[in-house]
Structure 1
Amino acid sequence: MNAPDGASRDYLIGIDAGHTVIKAAVFDVRGAEIGRGARPTATFSLHPRWQERDMDVVWQSAAGAIADALVDAGISGRQVAAVGIGAHGDGLYLVDADRRPVRAAILATDTRAAAYSERWNTGAVADELISITGQVPAPYSPPATLNWLRDNEPENFARAAHMLFCKDWLRLQLTGEVATDPTEAAAGFCDVRARAWSARATEICGLADAAHLLPPILDSGAIAGHVTEEAAAVTTLAVGTPVITGSHDVHAAALGIGALTPGSVSAILGTFNINQLVTTEALPSWQWQARGSLAPDRFLVMSTSPAGATAVDWVRQVTAQPSGLVADAVSAALADRDGVGVHEDDPYFLPFVYGTMLSPAIRGAFTGLGSWHGPTDLLRAGLEGVVFTHRYHLEALRGAGPIDVRPVRLSGGGTRSEEWTQLFADATGLSVQVTDAVESGARGSAMLAGVGVGLFVDVDQAARACVTVVRTQHPRADRKALLDRRYLQWSRIAAALQSAAS
């Protein structure tokens, strides 16, 4: 593929904007990563339950990560065929008529608007919302956060001109264009089957006066704009480089590990606890979210919660261990003592320090502590608690279709530890696979960009061309009885705390 100036454009850039780090990577057309950049972007909390970050810092971090990735790859921006963007979903990135931030972004780990989502959780209202949108809005979704904003920051609500998601904000900075895609629109107000905004859903959520905020919905793989002179100056991309609409990062990650064909099951050991099954129908249910995916005939049926790998990072922080999901430390915790991982007398951890999928909601907790337990035991409990939460979600997905026909494809930082992915297999009773994707979200975004500019026919061809399985792990029969007992006890502890909270 050649640019108008004659340069050969043989590379794709994928951006993966998470809650704490924004990564950009350069890939060739076989999906091999040849360069990477990463920049932190700080999260702050002004009040309990709040999680925010500065939108300009988000863009500066993304621009720096892109420039770093090009340097690391040893190529110029003129050799990039297209840019794809994936980012954390939900949350709220508001801009005014001048396309400048109205306020700090509200993140998907923010639960200030829980009282609003609870209004829609029961009875006919919930049934109608599920039938239209495929889900009941969560506290961190736009229906809840916009209601909170109108009631608590009316001046900011009045100033807002466009409701965006994280990847939409980054694309706005790259191209000057406002839009979103079906995977993000499905977070609220969207008819999940029609892939269009629903006036009825907006009305049910009490936000008919916010309909003007909803951006155009473009296909995830459509060319949504081109790199501007201003963006080129800070990213070193070439002016005019196509930028794809992009998607919610979980959809990009599923593509990046080759788990986007109907019947595929995948899980992300990352910030959120993500578990998803690809279907050809929306399948509305209280037990999961049904969201339109990257292909027009597919949906991701997702069972999720904020109880992901960041809860393990929190355990490391409060026990004065180095923070971050360092694979060696994770592996060492699971191999402690006699190398078999979790033991009968280990403590339990409910990893709900950033929120939960349970109703009534409960917070995080350690139980079963003994005087002989130390920081490593608490870390091991954290790793087990996150995996047990995955099991909870995967069992919920059985109502949408079989989840054990093929191995579960895993992605996220947790996959760097073979011990943790083995615990995942042992605790869920499911075989798992890890692919060659180091940055699955970034690679999926780049693959989608390749589809958008015609380097791949569709997402399935992109997956066949780019993804290789490097590790398969099966559940060990000798661990089943112990982990089944511990999961049952873990579930009972959660239920007991719910009873006390109700």
Structure 2
Amino acid sequence: MTDLLLGIDAGQTVTKAVLVHAETGREVAVGQARVPVSTPHPRWVERDQDQVWDGCVRAVRAALAGIDAGRIAAIGLCGHNDGCYPVDEHLRPVRPAVLAMDSRAHEQVRHYRDTGAAEAALPLTGQSPFAASPAAVQAWLLAEEPAAMARTRWLLFCKDWLRLGLTGEVATDPTEASASFTDVHSQRYSPAAFELYGLTELADKQPPILGSAEVAGRVTAAAAGLTGLRAGTPVATGAHDVDAAALGMGAVTPGAVSVVMGTFSINQVVTDTVRLDHRWQARAFLRSGQWLAMSTSPASSSNLEWFVRTLCPEAATGEDPFAFVTAEVATSIRADLPLYLPFLFGAPVDPGPAASAGFLGVRGWHTRGDLLRALWEGVALNHRTHLSALREAFPFTGAGRLSGGGARSPAWSQLLADTVDLPLEVTAGAEPGARGAALLAGIGAGRFAGLAEAAATAEVVRAHEPDPAGVRRMTERAEEYRAAITALGRWWGTG
């Protein structure tokens, strides 16, 4: 009896494997594995590709503990987009993977802006390049590591590297391919895009595009031996993790908003029309002819992880960091609260990668709780920046769906609802990205008729309505936040 689906979600630090019921979509088991990240030079954020594959193996084996792998009808994957996972003709890594938090290619982005390529890319590809986008990263690799690029046969995304390990097949899907080099309207590779970026020689190194729910291969005997999976199990192509998360949360219709408070600040709305702006990316969605308008930056709950790791030694005991964070924040709503700018890894388009994080207005009487409350607010205000831009162009229908580390805290979720003045709902299950990947596999295996039926399995477990007093307070804080960014622009070198 094949009554389960497996979804694998490879984030930038942790890989998750989730088994869900093939009819109800409910999570049955979860496995996780952390993958080390290195920063060998300023702006570099990368990791060993073999360790990424090992993390996938460990996560799958953990999810399968005590469960017959023969029950799995199909497997789906998702992972972080952008960056680069290059492999040679033997399908072995050429160099460490470049992650989406990497900003080494900032000079390539400056070049694209100075030459007008960035402006021309918007109507052609639906977005402008940024430091971690494939156009910028691949241009950097071509310029700085030409020998490595000469050995490279395929330039993959994260989930495509893992699917290669499972099946031995090379492919990607439209949601990932649309990161730099596809025509925004046709959603297929555009020769004009490669020419615009001066990367025509790399066009044949991009993986072929298959549908997100399409079966792209089957588990090999070698992969089965490592993971405990059944050889021959079908594996769907999969998707960018934010698209998979939208499906996992049930936000797949035009106007549906989903928000991820994770390593990145992800703010997105499904649309069946193309509207272009440098403040968001118009990328292919899980259905052909639809798009996910994504406004993002590497500035969300990763700020809390940094704060806890750096300044909260009691978290080393293994206690859930939200246990003490929420208690300290609850006592820290005061008129002279510091202001936090959450730009540890850069900011949205303006001011961009030159921006840095910082507390403003800290006084001797402020407590750690005050700083934590300011951090929560700064992250929420960054989400507000993104959602406000999207709201100008797209109608929002219903409540937004919320996931990510921040969604685990009801207090932080409520603060976000107040800050963005939008009802927010949290759905069942700890891993909506992996769940969405599993649902894509279910569609490919014929267990669901399509996205609508799969999305209907999402179950709302918590809702947050904006509180009028909280909305007023955070609207005032938003003015202070914008003023601080403007004032610091020249110091950051962007003014």
Q: For the superposition of Structure 1 and Structure 2, which TM-score range results when normalised by the shorter chain?
A: over 0.9
**2:41 matched to 1:50?**
no
TM superposition shift of 1:281: 1.6
Q: Equivalent of 1:334, from 308, 329, 333? A: 329
How many pairs were matched up? 487
**2:438 matched to 1:436?**
no
Distance change in 2, residues 1:288/1:227 (3 Å): same
What is the distance in 2 between the residues matched to 1:283 and 1:482?
Answer: 32
C-alpha contact (below 8 Å) 1:52/1:107 kept by paired residues = yes
State the SS of the aligned residue for 1:398.
Answer: helix
**2:201 matched to 1:209?**
yes
**2:4 matched to 1:17?**
no
Q: How does 1:1-400 map to 2 (within 5 A)?
A: 8-29=1-22, 30-71=24-65, 74-121=66-113, 124-321=116-313, 322=315, 326-336=321-331, 342-361=333-352, 362-400=355-393
Letter in 1 for 2:259: A
C-alpha contact (below 8 Å) 2:118/2:129 kept by paired residues = no
Unaligned runs of 5+ in 1: 1-7
What is the distance in 2 between the residues matched to 1:118 and 1:386?
Answer: 26
C-alpha contact (below 8 Å) 1:305/1:355 kept by paired residues = yes
C-alpha contact (below 8 Å) 2:117/2:197 kept by paired residues = no
What is the distance in 1 between the residues matched to 2:292 and 2:11?
Answer: 20
Choose 411-420 or 472-481, whichever is displaced more.
Answer: 472-481
What is the distance in 1 between the residues matched to 2:435 and 2:186?
Answer: 28
C-alpha contact (below 8 Å) 1:82/1:449 kept by paired residues = yes
**2:480 matched to 1:486?**
no
What TM-score does the superposition give when structure 1 sets the normalisation length?
0.94
TM superposition shift of 1:124: 4.8
Measured against aligned partners, the alpha-carbon deviations of 1:52-86 in whole angstroms (never above 9, x if no partner) come to: 00100000110111111011xx3211110000001
Letter in 1 for 2:432: S
TM superposition shift of 1:167: 0.1
Measured against aligned partners, the alpha-carbon deviations of 1:229-248 in whole angstroms (never above 9, x if no partner) come to: 11000111111000000000
Choose 324-333 or 42-51, whichever is displaced more.
Answer: 324-333
Unaligned runs of 5+ in 2: none
State the SS of the aligned residue for 2:95.
Answer: coil
Measured against aligned partners, the alpha-carbon deviations of 1:107-145 in whole angstroms (never above 9, x if no partner) come to: 000000011112233685333211111101110011111
Q: Equivalent of 2:489, from 474, 479, 498? A: 498
TM superposition shift of 1:21: 0.7
Q: % of aligned pairs identical?
A: 45
Measured against aligned partners, the alpha-carbon deviations of 1:135-175 in whole angstroms (never above 9, x if no partner) come to: 01110011111111111111111111100000000000000
Letter in 2 for 1:34: V
What is the distance in 2 between the residues matched to 1:122 and 1:399?
Answer: 28
Measured against aligned partners, the alpha-carbon deviations of 1:259-293 in whole angstroms (never above 9, x if no partner) come to: 11111011001110000011002222222100001
State the SS of the aligned residue for 1:120.
Answer: helix
C-alpha contact (below 8 Å) 1:282/1:291 kept by paired residues = no
Q: Equivalent of 2:410, from 413, 418, 435? A: 418
Measured against aligned partners, the alpha-carbon deviations of 1:314-364 in whole angstroms (never above 9, x if no partner) come to: 122332443797332342233125xxxx33211111111111114343111
Distance change in 2, residues 1:391/1:123 (3 Å): farther
Letter in 2 for 1:119: H
State the SS of the aligned residue for 1:303.
Answer: strand
**2:408 matched to 1:402?**
no
